[in-house]
Structure 1
Amino acid sequence: MLYVVSGPPAAGKSSWIEARAKPRDIVIDLDRITRALTGPGAPQWNHDPIASKVALRARYAAIDEAVKHRDQVDVYLIHTMPSETWLTRYQRLGARLITVDPGEQVVRERVQAMRSSAMDRVVTRWYRHYRGGEAHPAEAQASRDW
């Protein structure tokens, strides 16, 4: 099964996956990919543009390969704001679309506490333009170790 997990930054998408994915499952998370491709001490979020570009290419390759194996393992893919083109592709693949959203106030508090001010624009964009999939409100707990 392919699970496409969307939601605003700091909503708890990674935590939702961590609570469900088994060790053999595939998890495609651009933040994790970027961290894997950068050196010690690189920031956890808001990566260097070159590192982000390389990681995005690796993510595309990972998606292409992982979906071939979704009948043998579950594939969890974080895609914050999938375009209509991506949504169509995911639907053709039989994906289960999941939206993790603990609410705008919680998200803004988390972003203010741990992310750069640039992420605030992404939060605004998400709440203005994107909502969809099967909603899964995050519990009151933090989405990560803040």
Structure 2
Amino acid sequence: MLYVITGPPAAGKTSWIQAHATARDIVIDLDRIAVALTGPGAPQWNQDALVLRVAHKARFAAMHEAFELRDKLDVYLIHTMPSPKAMAKYKRLDAQIVTVDPGQDIVMQRIDAMRDPDMRRVATRWYRHRPQAHRQTMPQASRTW
């Protein structure tokens, strides 16, 4: 089964996966990939353009392979704001779309407390432009912040 986890930055997407995935499942998370590709002491949420360039390539390769295995194990993909084209692909793959959204006020507080301030812009765009299909939300708190 393929699970596509959407939501604004700092919503709790990774925490949702931690609560549902098992050690055998595949988890494709750009933040985790970026950390895996950088040296000791790199930030947990690395927004460096060069790191992200490599991380995106690794993410696409992982997605391609994992999608072929979704009938043998569960695949969890974090995709903050999928395009209509990506959503169409996920629907063709019979993905379950999960939107994690504790609300804009909470998201902005979390970004201010622990993320790069540029993530406020991403969160604002997510709330302004998310498709109607994303309006089904998981409002519960994801973890103790």
Asked whether the equivalents of residues 3 and 96 of structure 2 are also in contact (C-alpha less than 8 Å), the reply is: yes
Give secondary structure in 2 for the equivalent of 1:108. Answer: helix
In structure 1, distance between residues paired with 2:76 and 2:143: 21
More deviation, 38-47/72-81 = 38-47
1:141 is aligned to 2:143: yes
Task: Tell whether the 8 Å contact from 1:11 to 1:138 is kept in structure 2 after alignment.
Answer: no
In structure 1, the residue matched to 2:55 is 55
1:27-66 to structure 2, matched below 5 A, reads: 27-66=27-66
- Partner SS, residue 137 of structure 2: strand
- Asked if 1:76 corresponds to 2:76, the answer is yes
Q: TM-score, normalized by length of structure 2?
A: 0.94
- 1:20 aligns to 2:20 (yes or no): yes
**Secondary structure, in 3 states, of the residue corresponding to 2:3?**
strand
> Contact 2:9/2:80 (CA < 8 Å) preserved in 1?
yes
Amino acid of the structure 2 residue aligned with 1:103: G
**Any stretches of 5+ residues in structure 1 without a counterpart?**
none
Contact 2:15–2:143 (CA<8 Å) still a contact in 1? no
TM-score, length-scaled by structure 1: 0.93
**Deviation, structure 1 residue 116:** 1.5
User: Displacement of 1:135 after TM fit?
Assistant: 2.0
CA-based RMSD of the aligned residues comes to 1.2
Tell me by how many angstroms 1:46 deviates: 3.5
State the alpha-carbon separation in 1 of the partners of residues 140 and 8 from structure 2. 12
Tell me how far 1:32 sits from its aligned partner.
0.1
For residues 7 and 108 of structure 2, the distance between their equivalents in structure 1, rounded to whole angstroms, comes to 13
Deviates more, 1:14-23 or 1:42-51: 42-51
Q: Percent identity?
A: 58
Aligned residues: 143
